[in-house]
A and B are shown apart, each in its own frame.
Chain A
Amino acid sequence: MNHSSIESQISNDYTTARTGDYEEDLKKFNWSLLIIEVILFGIGIWNLISATGVQDKSLGLYKSQAVWFGVGMVLTAIVLALHYSLFSRLAYFIYFANLILLGAVLVVGKSSLGAKRWIGVGGFRIQPSEFMKLSMVICLAKYFESDQTVGGYGFKDLLLPALLVALPCGLIMLQPDLGTALIILLTFVTMMLFMKIQPITLVAIAVTSVIALGAVWNFDVLKPYQKQRIVSFIDPTSDPKGSGYNSIQSKIAVGSGQLLGKGYQKGTQSQGNFLPEHHTDFIFSVFSEEHGFVGCTILITLYLIFMMNGLSVAYQSHDKFGILLALGIMAIFFWHIFFNMGMVMGMLPIVGVPLPFLSYGGSSLVTSILGVAILTNISNKKFMF
């Protein structure tokens, strides 16, 4: 607080000097998140080359990943040129537009591995569910921005936001994409807890959730493979060649990296194809196998610095929308990182959640970059009241 007020004082001294605006903007510009983003992406693409390269260099997945990064950078420039309050004004529009896209996926979407998650736009395939995370956070931030409830939220107060979350979650579950739905739900819960909920409501929600989970389990809402994944999480050895296979092989990959790793492009687990989807959801196992505990600690520390920087953006923001938006975005990042690594290391059941900046996937990468761009925007505009 003290720090920022000093800064604002300094900045106030110069506000009149119009010629200095550009330089001052640059000085105020928060580069930290963008720099970490570039470092993480650099590690990501280097790792992706290892994950896909030996298999066949000509597959060239890293090239398309680089292209998506370029797209993300262009979007970053656009976002930075705007004021994030624009998102506040367009929040519901963005939300419903994205909802329509999610509906469209189910109708005209492209299938892959039994799930319909993509729609083709030009030569690209985009995954609206990825962008839905951001749209959701923008929408919730907008909703609570104007809300004046005091003394914690009660059950009734949460009905509308819950509905706003349930709609996209339902559509995403239909694809089906359990991971993304779960992330949206966890982000919502994080934001709600932050907003303070009445203790009695909290208990009620907890009880309802348990009942709902039971119902979901018993009434075939989940696909058999999804149930199987959860069962095999609890006991991976129950079907080591089947549904428990990924979990076991992934744990072997991570653990066999030991202290220093097997070396770049020498990971036998990933290079030998023992790990399915090792360039997407299981990318962390490739990294940890090849770079060991030391490499992983560096990577996790980078993520931690990233998270702390992001949270400080939320902390330093001076308006409710900015705080909630930044917080929501950081919640998305946190749950992605935590769930992905937890899954790869066998702590959590296998749900398809990509690791930001490291997993292959255009929509996921662009969403992460957009998130960083919005955070940077919030950070840069914090003095402009």
Chain B
Amino acid sequence: MAFLGQEEQIREFQDRFRLLYAALFIGFGLLISRLVFLQILMGDQLRLSSEENRLKRVKIAAPRGMIFDRNHTLLIDNRPDFDLEITPQYLKGSGEEPKVISFLSKIIKKPEKEIQDILTKNKSQSFRGVKIKTDLSRDEVAQIELRKIDMPGVEVREEIRRTNIYGDVAAHLLGYISEVNATELPTLNRKGVKYRLGDSIGKDGLERRMEENLRGVDGEEIREVDALGRVKRERKKSSTGQGVVGRQALPGKNLILTIDQDLQLAATQAFGDKIGSLVAIDPRSGEILAMLSRPSYDPTSFSRGIPASIWGKLLANENHPLMDKSLAEHYPPGSTFKIVTAIAGLEEGAIDENTVFHCPGKIKIGNRLHHCHSRHGEISVTRAITQSCDVFFYRVAQKLKSVDDIAKWATILGLGKRSGINLRGEVPGLIPTEAWKKERYGQPWNAGETASVAIGQSFVTTTVLQLANLYGTFSNGGTRYRPFVVKAIESFDGKIIKEFQPEPISQVKLKPKTIELVRQGLWGVINSPGGTAYSQRLPGMEFVGKTGTAQLFRQAADKINTRCESMRYKDRHNAVFVGFAPANDPKIAVAVVGEHACHGGSGAAPIARAVIKKYLEKYYPEQYGEKTLANKLKSLGMSSQVPKAPHSEAVEDEGYAEGGEQEIAPQVRIPMAPLPPPMPVTPREAPSGPEPSYEEGLEGSDTSEAEE
């Protein structure tokens, strides 16, 4: 009901309505004019902006090049990997959530609650797939795909997993890839190579070294995307064609390595759970035939992001599984270095074939007592190598002018500097000189140190790769090659793009006599009963080499005779072995270091032996095949069987480097072991001067069994 006296006021109001109508028209006029501005005047330009929004260049990742061994055995491949993803918003909206989750939970064997938790945690991200499980099995993929139509928001996504087919074998050599991280981008892109976040890059080993070859050129596709950059699902009434190809992806180049995977596997098997490294090299070219570092890791798990827990464990492992022990770790070479001392002595004229020193089991140099592991009595250079007599080499050291003579020959032979292999992280090792010590420690050199250097201890360190190359160089008569591991680069369709040729770095001039004497010594190590690796011989294959037992800590005087095996694990000596075969026509040289494996003869030589045997059998079956060899040996009246070695103290006990100060014990003379038979002159011949023990062997049993 109207109030009295309101009539007038109401009439007044009604006049003001004109203003209201005016305001209304002005307001709507503004809206319309804005509409004209945006849709008519700016229309073309804004339509263009919306197109740019919608169409996105989508990267088509180029497949990374594959890596093969020398016989085209695939080592590194790109394998599809399937992930289960759920877009929570789609699933929630469907109202089927509990049913779908319980179904998935059964297939992927993950508790429902866990799936639910992942979804809840990622709820806020709008319409983005949440990873529920990676690495689905084929079976899981099949089951999910079959029911996908009833499971809104559930998606199986295919990703590429860089796969090391042989798991942890040669992980260090092959390396791994992972996503580029933001901090490296500026450095990477300065060179003009375009990396973007999300791209993969080689982080270690060949994957890193050969990045430029392995990496392909990504292609590009223009696709319709939504605001989150997701490629939209196919729609029937799409106004533009989907998947317009901008540029094809160009796959990366493949690598053919010099590696032989069978050797790698044989070496891995022989290594067992030992820690250390093996390098096998072809002395005729410098091709690396096998290269291992143990313990290892599986690079496959790195390619799609390694869980922090696993990474942490790898870092914390005291055996350093991430380190390449073949070229990035320094090892004292121990007695394997004695051939350098022998060569220095022979070449410098300090000793010759007739030089005989007396080994009483210990020797006092300066005011320190140096021990030998045995009393070798009267001993020549050949026999000294065979039996690894320390005293002989101490005496050689005394005869030489200074440690610099040893250093000179070590350097000539390639020690103390990088081998030049085209791999990252190689360390140079160390060959000490008087000048070096003066500079490093400010102290003069002392004679005791020369003695230690002579047997590969003291400051002397080498890498496993250097040792293999050293023996390779010696075995081929002095040609030092640059070791290499990539034999060829191949285009993705198999055309050879580049082939790598052997590269001799230097020619070491050695007197024939020197070579003969040292080779005889090395022959004896394995092939004469007094040799330190007699149990490791390979009848008919002329396997020769040198053991070493590198002491890591100076032993207290009372511990000097403690058996290595009874020491604390970390105090045990490193087992070193370097050898080659066949002696007169070397086709392979192998160096092995087994950390804390105690004795070169038992801890390292069997691994080298397994690799050499495998190699000769595989590549020279007409000469070294099991049957050929058995027949040949039979005609020579020998067995191809390695008999049980007569136990010689030299096998187990050799190579203590330095002793503590101790009084010289009364000399006790022990009978000398017989000198090894002379080296065969022609390579085709089986080793002459058959060992009596060959005949004692059992016929017909397996030859590959290494016995001690």
Q: Residues on A close to B: CB < 8 A? A: 1, 54-56, 58-60, 85, 145-146, 148, 194, 196, 249, 251-259, 262, 265-266, 268-269, 271-275, 288-289, 292-293, 296-297, 300, 303-304, 307-308, 311, 314-315, 318-320, 323, 327, 334, 337-338, 341-342, 345-347, 385
The answer to whether A58 and B93 have CB atoms under 8 Å apart is yes
The answer to whether A266 and B239 have CB atoms under 8 Å apart is yes
The answer to whether A272 and B53 have CB atoms under 8 Å apart is yes
Q: For B47, give its contact among A1, A256, A297 (CB under 8 Å).
A: A256
Q: With contacts A59-B93, A320-B10 known, is A288 near B54, CB below 8 A?
A: no
User: Is B582 an interface residue when CB atoms closer than 8 A count as contact?
Assistant: no
| A residues less than 8 Å from B99 (CB atoms) | none
- Name the CB-closest residue of A to B6: A320
The answer to whether B3 and A320 have CB atoms under 8 Å apart is yes
User: Is B441 an interface residue when CB atoms closer than 8 A count as contact?
Assistant: no
Shortest Cβ gap from B24 to chain A (Å): 5
Q: Pull 18 A–B residue pairs with CB atoms less than 8 Å apart, ordered by A.
A: A54-B235, A55-B127, A58-B152, A145-B3, A259-B39, A272-B226, A273-B126, A274-B53, A289-B50, A311-B20, A315-B17, A320-B13, A337-B31, A338-B27, A342-B34, A347-B34, A385-B1, A385-B2
Additional A-B contacts beyond A58-B95, A274-B226 (5; CB < 8 A): A58-B94, A196-B16, A249-B53, A272-B53, A304-B24
User: Is B193 an interface residue when CB atoms closer than 8 A count as contact?
Assistant: no
Q: With contacts A308-B24, A319-B2, A338-B27 known, is A254 near B152, CB below 8 A?
A: no
Shortest Cβ gap from A8 to chain B (Å): 14
The answer to whether A323 and B13 have CB atoms under 8 Å apart is yes
The answer to whether A338 and B226 have CB atoms under 8 Å apart is no
The answer to whether A296 and B35 have CB atoms under 8 Å apart is yes
Q: For A300, give its contact among B6, B35, B38, B239 (CB under 8 Å).
A: B35
The answer to whether A268 and B35 have CB atoms under 8 Å apart is no
Please report the C-alpha to C-alpha distance between residue A273 and residue B232 in the assembled complex, in whole angstroms. 11
User: Is B14 an interface residue when CB atoms closer than 8 A count as contact?
Assistant: yes
| B residues less than 8 Å from A55 (CB atoms) | 127
- Name the CB-closest residue of A to B21: A311
Please report the C-alpha to C-alpha distance between residue A15 and residue B24 in the assembled complex, in whole angstroms. 37
| A residues less than 8 Å from B5 (CB atoms) | 148
Within 8 A of A (CB), among B27-63: 27-28, 30-32, 34-36, 38-40, 42-47, 49-51, 53-54
B-side interface mostly: helix
User: Is B297 an interface residue when CB atoms closer than 8 A count as contact?
Assistant: no
Q: For A293, give its contact among B3, B28, B39, B152 (CB under 8 Å).
A: B39
| B residues less than 8 Å from A314 (CB atoms) | 17
| B residues less than 8 Å from A54 (CB atoms) | 235
> How many of chain B's residues have a CB under 8 angstroms from any CB in A?
53
Please report the C-alpha to C-alpha distance between residue A272 and residue B127 in the assembled complex, in whole angstroms. 11
Please report the C-alpha to C-alpha distance between residue A289 and residue B239 in the assembled complex, in whole angstroms. 15
Q: With contacts A307-B24, A308-B21, A314-B17 known, is A293 near B89, CB below 8 A?
A: no
Q: With contacts A194-B16, A320-B3 known, is A259 near B32, CB below 8 A?
A: no
In the complex, how many residue pairs between chain A and chain B have their CB atoms under 8 Å apart? 159
The answer to whether B1 and A256 have CB atoms under 8 Å apart is no
Which 3 pairs of residues, A with B, have the shortest CB-CB distance? A255-B46, A256-B50, A258-B43
The answer to whether B35 and A253 have CB atoms under 8 Å apart is no
The answer to whether B35 and A293 have CB atoms under 8 Å apart is yes
Shortest Cβ gap from A349 to chain B (Å): 15
Please report the C-alpha to C-alpha distance between residue A293 and residue B46 in the assembled complex, in whole angstroms. 14
Please report the C-alpha to C-alpha distance between residue A308 and residue B46 in the assembled complex, in whole angstroms. 33
User: Is B225 an interface residue when CB atoms closer than 8 A count as contact?
Assistant: yes
| B residues less than 8 Å from A337 (CB atoms) | 31
User: Is B90 an interface residue when CB atoms closer than 8 A count as contact?
Assistant: yes
Please report the C-alpha to C-alpha distance between residue A146 and residue B1 in the assembled complex, in whole angstroms. 12
Q: With contacts A256-B49, A268-B53 known, is A297 near B94, CB below 8 A?
A: no
| A residues less than 8 Å from B49 (CB atoms) | 252, 255-256
Please report the C-alpha to C-alpha distance between residue A256 and residue B51 in the assembled complex, in whole angstroms. 9
Please report the C-alpha to C-alpha distance between residue A194 and residue B21 in the assembled complex, in whole angstroms. 12
- Name the CB-closest residue of B to A1: B14
Please report the C-alpha to C-alpha distance between residue A327 and residue B94 in the assembled complex, in whole angstroms. 44
Shortest Cβ gap from B302 to chain A (Å): 32
| B residues less than 8 Å from A311 (CB atoms) | 17, 20-21, 24
| A residues less than 8 Å from B50 (CB atoms) | 252-253, 256, 268-269, 274, 289
| B residues less than 8 Å from A341 (CB atoms) | 31, 34
Please report the C-alpha to C-alpha distance between residue A22 and residue B190 in the assembled complex, in whole angstroms. 86
Shortest Cβ gap from B2 to chain A (Å): 4
The answer to whether B239 and A293 have CB atoms under 8 Å apart is no
| A residues less than 8 Å from B232 (CB atoms) | 272
The answer to whether A300 and B31 have CB atoms under 8 Å apart is yes
User: Is B191 an interface residue when CB atoms closer than 8 A count as contact?
Assistant: no
Q: With contacts A56-B90, A273-B228, A308-B21 known, is A345 near B34, CB below 8 A?
A: yes
Shortest Cβ gap from A268 to chain B (Å): 4
Please report the C-alpha to C-alpha distance between residue A259 and residue B90 in the assembled complex, in whole angstroms. 34
Shortest Cβ gap from A211 to chain B (Å): 26
Q: For A297, give its contact among B35, B42, B45, B235 (CB under 8 Å).
A: B35
| B residues less than 8 Å from A265 (CB atoms) | 237
| B residues less than 8 Å from A303 (CB atoms) | 28
| A residues less than 8 Å from B635 (CB atoms) | none
- Name the CB-closest residue of B to A338: B27
Please report the C-alpha to C-alpha distance between residue A58 and residue B47 in the assembled complex, in whole angstroms. 30
- Name the CB-closest residue of B to A265: B237
